[in-house]
Copies of this chain bind each other. A is one copy, B any other.
């Protein structure tokens, strides 16, 4: 639940800012060509840095990939926590969860693209950490669905399976939901919520 590396940072704010910029720029390259297909030299060119300087900031290529993942997961889990704090009926919470998720996808299209395509490239502890945070988010969704079934607001559905349907519907927008396009995050979140909510509400509700 805390941020990726939190307060253990021993670096200057300037260093952190530069690193963040590198992460963002690199996410764009990875999204455009893929993680393995993007070479260190391309990353250096795009960031206006030599290899030595780049490694001064990122440690390793996989560290850079992990930083991109962390950025997305930080935002997504923060959104989920806001939903928990806001409370409300299961329907309201599910709708807000959708808004928050689509907002992240809309604001970080490159990071999300990389995360959905390249997560298998993470290894060891980094892979385990990522999987755990992803599962944590999925549990939030399942929890809301379970609450709705228990309260009778939703019909008697399988929370796990229904969560997968919900996640697919929303995550898959990474292919076409981009800033500066026709549709905003809210333009999509609303009709999606309407379809999904009508689809799972108890008929007599």
Instruction: Specify which of B35, B157, B171, B196 is in contact with A199 (CB 8 Å cutoff).
Output: B196
Copies of this chain, complex-wide, total 2
Minimum CB–CB distance for A62 against chain B, Å = 12
Main secondary structure of the interface of A (DSSP, over half): helix
The interface bits of chain A over 163-175 (1 if a CB of B lies within 8 angstroms of the residue's CB, else 0) are 0110111111100
B-contact bits for A103-121, CB 8 A (1 contact / 0 none) = 0000000000000011011
Evaluate contact between B36 and A34: CB separation under 8 angstroms: yes
Q: Are B157 and A164 in contact (CB under 8 A)?
A: no
Interface assignment of A41: CB less than 8 Å from any CB of chain B: no
Known A36-B37, A37-B36; judge A162-B176 contact (CB<8 A).
no
Query: In the complex, what residues of B have CB within 8 A of residue A162's CB?
Result: 191, 195
Q: A171, B168: Cβ atoms under 8 Å? A: yes
How many residues of chain A have a CB within 8 Å of chain B? 36
Q: List 15 A-B contacts (CB under 8 A).
A: A32-B120, A37-B121, A117-B117, A157-B195, A158-B191, A161-B188, A164-B172, A165-B191, A168-B168, A168-B169, A168-B172, A168-B173, A171-B172, A194-B199, A196-B199
Interface residues of A (CB under 8 A from B): 32-37, 117-118, 120-121, 157-158, 161-162, 164-165, 167-173, 176, 183, 188, 191-192, 194-201
